Amino acid sequence: MLLRLRLLEARRRGGLLLLTLAALAVATVAATARGPLAGRYSLATDLAALLGYLAAVFYGALPLAADRERRRLLLTTASPATPWSIAFANAAGAAATAGVATLLLFAAAGAGSTLQGGLETRVAAGFRGDETIWIRPGQTLPLEIKPGVEKLRFSMRVFSPGEMIGSTGRFPIEADGLRLDLRPGQETEVAVQGDRLKLRNPSDDALLGLDPRALRTLGARRPFLVNAVVAGIAPALAAAALAALAAAFSAGLTGPVAALLAGLLLLLGSMKSFLLDTTQPPPADDHAAHHGHNHSHSHDHTPPPPPDSARVLVRAMLAALPDLGSFDRSDRAFRGEWIGFEGAAGAALFLAVALALAAGGGGIGLRLRRVT
């Protein structure tokens, strides 16, 4: 019953109107904002994720019952159900509402882009590992291509004695005889005929390298709108998990405090990768240089000092948080790559853990309220 009440609560509080307005805003950005279509779609998906996560925080933490402490206490004390089942149903209702809303917002982003023709979407895969493939001046490099691949996407790294670092000059490269003049880091796609592609470096002194981060094979086409909707599944599950945790917080705390905690979880989860990078321990060489050690002394095998205790504590706390950014794969969708269900398994695990924590922690909060 409580699960159904939470679902109906969204409609009573104007949820359908708010969702409609939000979806129209997201679709409008994707269809009419300035810039190329891929950039507009990227902006629209960022807006969809932001609105979905904010809805999860506030709807999960601020149910109608949480706004009226006396009625919430009366509901939990008069119900024949256990506090844990009440907490689980409350969290599940909030999760279902937030998840569906977020998925619809991502679908709106895809629909807005589809009105402008959509993006060419293909099955994509990595190619040749994670090392730069260098092509010497005058060298021809044959690349073996798997069956079904129709295009190769790549960008170049350049080492040229005549160019300064950061130069925006163009450098030639030939793909099956087709000459391309590209800037370092500029992505391009070339058609693949058969099972081999020949890349040639026609320059006199420039050393060209294929950047492994951008090197992708592109195969069969897939519908863009379907890809846009599927790309929203993992963020929708993450938003559902966030709403469940917010509902768990509200079971034992006041609504504003629960919303604050859920917002803090959202902020830290969104910045997890950045925070982990900034709390990396310094390299041993940097530490030795800082203390004046000369690395030419090969006999000095003094081990580096242990990591700072505060850094270890921060990294341990961050390890327990979900990386919300890893669930959103729409950056690949606006690059024309088929997403499939990538990221959905991790997001589903996050949701399962959140519901379990909501049932346990929320049930304890409701039980304490019954006692007091």
Measured distance CA(19)–CA(103) in Å, rounded: 11
Query: Is residue 34 predicted with pLDDT exceeding 90?
Result: no
- Would you mind telling me the total number of residues written for the chain in this entry? 372
Q: Which long-range contacts (CB under 8 A, 24 or more apart) does 142-145 make?
A: 142/196, 142/197, 142/198, 143/196, 143/197, 143/198, 143/199, 144/195, 144/196, 145/192, 145/194, 145/195, 145/196, 145/197, 145/217
Express as a percent the part of the chain with pLDDT over 90. 30
Mean pLDDT score, 86-94:
85
Q: Report pLDDT digits (tens) over 144-191.
A: 888 889 999 988 888 776 554 445 578 889 998 889 988 888 889 899
Say what the pTM is: 0.80
Q: What six digits make up the tokens of 169?
A: 């000059």
What value does the mean pLDDT of the chain take? 81
Considering only 46-60, 291-305, 308-322, 343-357, which range has the smallest mean pLDDT?
Answer: 291-305
pLDDT of residue 355: 92
Check residue 82 and report its DSSP letter: -
Q: Considering only CA atoms, which of 229, 197, 287, 171 is closest in space to residue 41?
A: 229
According to DSSP, the residues that pair with 200 across neighbouring strands are 140, 174
pLDDT at residue 107 is higher than 90: yes
**CA gap 305, 147 in Å, rounded:** 52
Domains of the chain in start order, with CATH, are: 2-119+224-266+314-371 (no CATH), 128-214 (2.60.120)
pLDDT of the residue at 126? 84
Residue 193 near residue 184, CB atoms below 8 Å: no
Amino acid at position 176, single letter: D
- State residue 114's pLDDT score: 93
217 or 205, higher pLDDT: 217
* Residue 121 near residue 35, CB atoms below 8 Å: no
Return d(Cα 27, Cα 109) in angstroms, integer. Answer: 5
Residue 339: name the closest of 223, 241, 242, 236 by CA: 223
Question: Where is pLDDT greater, at 118 or 279?
Answer: 118
Please report the sign of the dihedral spanned by the C-alpha atoms of residue 36, residue 41, residue 44, residue 50. Answer: negative
| Res 106 pLDDT > 80 | yes
